[in-house]
Amino acid sequence: MSRLAQTAGLTDIQREILSTVRDFVDKEIIPVATQLEHRDEYPTDIVEGLKELGLFGLMIPEEYGGLGESLLTYALCVEEIARGWMSVSGIINTHFIVAYMLKQHGTQEQKDTFLPRMALGEVRGAFSMSEPALGSDVSAISSKGVKDGDEYVLNGQKMWLTNGGSSTLVAVLCRSDEGHPEGTAPHKSMTTFLVEKEAGFGEVRPGLTIPGKIDKMGYKGVDTTELIMDGLRIPANRVLGGTTGRGFYQMMDGVEVGRVNVAARGCGVAQRAFELGVSYAQQRQTFGKPIAQHQAIQFKLAEMATKVEAAHAMMVNAARKKDSGERNDLEAGMAKYLASEYCKEVVEDAFRIHGGYGFSKEYEIERLYREAPMLLIGEGTAEIQKMIIGRRLLEEYRFQG
């Protein structure tokens, strides 16, 4: 284990899980990550290995075949996986959000149907809230679900689905006016639909099309897609929780834990960037000595390590707050904001330490430099996080006149 980003108070089981994951990352992910990323190739063998480790069911209760672990355990595992290759952590994150939403909000029939197979990785989840025209304005969602007998008919276009092609179960947020008269607040007329589909691209079930992978600057390997619904029919028993109008709250609950996950990813990428930077600084020589002996580089390493420690501490705090059953939107927003910003800065400093070689695709830091920006916008931009943080602070520190 590295000296940085240690977590106090872990159980023996948690330490054993983390040691196993770190060993897997070092042996099975880091040696092949850059090669797979350059080919934009889905990491099939790595995913199969994660299934064997039980990570797809890490937080799913034992009664459904999972390991029943805490959000903290999961976040620390994500941190380790992102240290190896951030795309792999994205593959399990959206799966985890859907499993979490089912566990927290699903009917008993929905839990019994999906959670045991999700724990095994046989059913893989994707999470669909965003649309092409709305960005962070969730209230502007235009995709719609209209009741027709014992079914709902879904129409609309969704955007930025991680696992869009490889998933077989998608939690889709749509507007549903049934039982919600005109003038109802937008967030009270949204419903989460559980959409089952075949893995792959094209028309994956009647009325549902996954056009293909979106070509991205970084975050490659994992499939990021659109989702187009055109007369897609969904049984009424696939409304998450069995009642319409609760979708916004269900999704926000999922996003809250997703923000802890993104913070963990930022911590993992920053750790790897620091490892690469401090290693290269001791090998590269200028003016007759390793550049690590130059004060300017030591200052940079000191700043990088401090940011890694600070981000990790905030991520752990946010996870523990959620595990305690308390509201953690303030802590999750702070952790996501700080970890993603510090990740970008640590990666850039490691890139600068590498000098011209950092610009070469032969060096791992080049990949990290393209991956870090995704964390600045995933699960809400920095501006959204600051808005959440500011509102919560005003609630906590309300002026008593």
The DSSP output letter for 381 is -
* Catalytic residue chosen out of the listed positions 37, 69, 366, 379: 379
The C-alpha atoms of residue 275 and residue 151 are separated, in whole angstroms, by: 53
In eight-state DSSP terms, residue 214 is P
Give the number of other Cβ atoms within 10 Å of residue 382's Cβ: 17
Cα dist from 125 to 130, 164, 345, whole Å: 16, 9, 32
Angle at 29 between CA 360 and CA 367, to 5 degrees: 25
Return the HEC string of 8-44.
Answer: CCCCHHHHHHHHHHHHHHHHHHHHHHHHHHHHCCCCH
Going by C-beta distance under 8 Å and a sequence separation of 6 or more, which residues neighbour residue 183? none
Query: Pairing mode, if any, of strands 224-235 and 208-210?
Result: antiparallel
Residues 6+ apart with CB under 8 A from 312: 4, 5, 7, 79, 267
Question: Does an H or E element contain 269, and which?
Answer: helix 247-283
User: CA 133, 88, 57, 79: dihedral to nearest 10 degrees?
Assistant: -100
CA 44/CA 38 separation, integer angstroms? 15
Q: Which of 161, 157, 152 is nearest to 192 (CA)?
A: 152
Calpha distance 210→227 (Å, rounded): 5
Spatial distance between the Cα atoms of 329 and 13, rounded to a whole number of angstroms: 28
Cα separation of 220 and 1, whole Å?
27
Active site residue 379: yes
* Tokens 């027709």 -> residue: 148
Catalytic annotation, residues:
379
